[in-house]
Amino acid sequence: MSRKINNEFVNQNTTHVEIPLVFQRYMDNLDEPCGIKDKSSIFVYANKAYHDLLNLPKGYNVAGRLDSELPATTSEYASMFQAHDRLVENTGKRRSSLEIHPFGRDQKLRAYFFDKTPFPDSSGKTVGTFFHGRKAEHLSLRFYTKGGKAESLLLTLPSNIFSEIEWMIIFYLRSHLCRKEIALKLNRSEGYIKNLIAMIYDKAGVTNTRMLIDFIRENGWHRYVPEQLLTHHHRILP
């Protein structure tokens, strides 16, 4: 048995999405924010916990709306959220982000991990994304924000063009670490790091770190932070 979304709330250009009744009840009863979007990033459903997290007005329904249309402080990050949705749909895998925004009815700056996974129809075809947030209990916000401002950070590899260790090196290069410092961080020889940096430059079609940083930003990959670093005191780049 499935629940058909009321057409009153669904944009006419969106793919029709059905939510199995048992899953609908699961989300209704979950005390953590979650919901489903279609392949145009239009909300199909979000539970009460999500509405409370965004401090949406009583009786407000996100269904049929984009992030940019919500009366919430997160609306200005809509393009980042949509890029996250497309990444999930294109890779067919879970992708996670760290969201630091004024959350809750008291609108205090808080950190939440948001996992997004492909949402399939009855035939297994991806028709949207399922998102689920959980509070980042042990993060010190001063290490992950700049000037107490909101952030939206991607915690899973944004592209397969670089290997995991290459992405780690790119993160450190963007943090202005030299080859020797990166070698110490990764417990590798400086020569090994030098060779990997040359390979990174070659893959990106650049000849220096400044060009590499520009390449990463142009592709929208500058929000990536290696998840394993979140247990350490590393400041995130703006």
Q: For residue 135, report the phi and psi dihedrals to the nearest 5 degrees.
A: -65, 135
The CA distance from 82 to 88, in Å, is 10
Provide the pLDDT for residue 232. Answer: 35
| Whole-structure pTM value | 0.64
pLDDT range class, residue 97, cuts 50, 70, 90: confident
Q: For residue 98, report the phi and psi dihedrals to the nearest 5 degrees.
A: -110, 115
Q: What is the mean pLDDT of residues 4-28?
A: 66
pLDDT tens, 99-127? 888 899 998 888 888 999 999 998 999 99
Sign of CA dihedral 72, 151, 36, 54: negative
pLDDT at residue 1 tops 80: no
pLDDT range class, residue 175, cuts 50, 70, 90: confident
Provide the pLDDT for residue 235. Answer: 34
pLDDT at residue 163 tops 90: yes
Sign of CA dihedral 132, 138, 143, 147: positive
